[in-house]
Amino acid sequence: MGFDIITIGSATIDVFISSKSKQIDVERIHGHEDVCLPIGAKILINNLYVSTGGGAHNAAFCFSRLGLKTGWVGLIGKGHNGKIIKELTKKEKISFLGKEKPGESGYSVILIGFNKNRTILTYKGINNDLEYKDVKKPLKAKWFYSSSMMGKSWATLLKILKNKKQTKFAFNPSTYFCMKGIKHLMPALKYCDLLILNKEEAQFLLKSKADIPKLIKKLQKIIPVVVITNGPKGAYSYNGIEMLKLIPKKTKIIETTGAGDSFASAFLAGIIQKKDLKTCLQWGHAQACSIISEIGAKDKLLNKNQLQRILSQKSRVVKV
C-alpha cells in the first residue's frame, strides 16, 4: 500500500532569537531594510526558541496533521541535531524514506522581532547531498511534493520525477531557486501538476514585474494548476478555466517562518482529499494564519477538525 503524499527535500534545526538591544538597528539601505549589527560587539538575546524546519519536513508535518499517510525523503545527520529530527519525524507518524549519513543536519538561525519580519541564516549541511541510492524504493504515492533542492539533491529529485509513473507532483520552489530562472527549473516543471509560489518568486521565475493575473496565466500554460500567494493581500489560483482570488481577513502576525510551507501543503492536502479549489485556498490560508500567530514553523499546525472550524473566520474567495 502506498502513501497519500511523499515529501522530498530538507530538514533543519531552527533556532529563533530576538533581542531588544539598542546596539541593533534597522536601517533602509539601497531601497530595502537591513538589520545592522555592530562588528565586534557582544549582544544580549532576550528570547531563544528551538524547533525543526526545512521545506519538505515542514510540509510532511502539515500533511500528517491533516490525516494523510505521509512519507519523507531526505537526509538525517548522525549527530545530536539529526537525532532530534529523527525523533520528531517518528512522533508525528511520518515514515522516513531517506538515509542517515555522517555529517551535520541543516541548521538555521532566524533573527526575529524586526518589523514583524525575519532574517534567516541557513546552513544546508547534508541536505544538498541526497543521492538516488539513499532513497528507500519503491516510492509509491498519489503525490510527490518538493520545495527547493540543490547540488546532488536536485539531480536526485529529477531522477525520482523521471521514474514517477502515475504519481503527481507539486512544486513549491523558494526565492533563491526561482532567481535562477525558468530555464533552470524546467527539468522539474515539465513534470509538475501543481505549482505554488509567492508573487516575488513568480516574478523572479519569469523575469517579469507583471501583476499576478498575468504571471499566473503565463505559468499555467506550462503547469495545469498554479497558485500565487501575496502575503497579507491573499492568493490566486488558476487552472486554465477559472481564476479565483482569496481575500483574507486581517490576521495578527507574530513571526512568518513556515507560512509558505503551511499554505502550500494545506492547499495540496485539500486537492488530495478532493476539495474544490475554493476550499483548497481557504485551507492553505487558514493553516498559514495559524503558523504566523506563533514562533516556529510547526507547533501551531492545525489538524483537519481545527482547520474546518476556523475557515469562515479567515477569508472569502471570489472569481476574477
Taking CB atoms within 8 Å and a gap of at least 24, the contacts of 312-316 are 313/249, 314/248, 314/249, 314/251, 314/282, 314/285, 314/286, 314/289, 315/234, 315/246, 315/247, 315/248, 315/249, 315/281, 315/282, 315/285, 315/286, 316/246, 316/247
Question: What does the pLDDT profile of the chain (320 residues) look like in tens digits?
Answer: 599 999 999 999 999 998 888 888 877 777 778 888 889 989 898 889 999 999 999 999 999 999 999 999 999 998 899 999 999 999 999 999 999 999 999 999 999 877 667 888 999 999 999 999 999 999 999 999 999 899 999 999 999 999 998 999 999 999 989 999 999 999 999 999 999 999 999 999 999 999 999 999 999 999 999 999 999 999 999 999 999 999 998 888 888 888 999 999 999 999 999 999 999 999 999 999 999 988 888 989 999 999 988 876 767 999 99
Instruction: Give the cell for residue 29.
Output: 539601505
Topology of domain 3-20+46-319, per CATH? UDP-N-acetylmuramoyl-L-alanine:D-glutamate ligase (3.40.1190)
- Domain spans of the chain, in order of start: 3-20+46-319
Q: Which residue has the cell 507560512?
A: 259
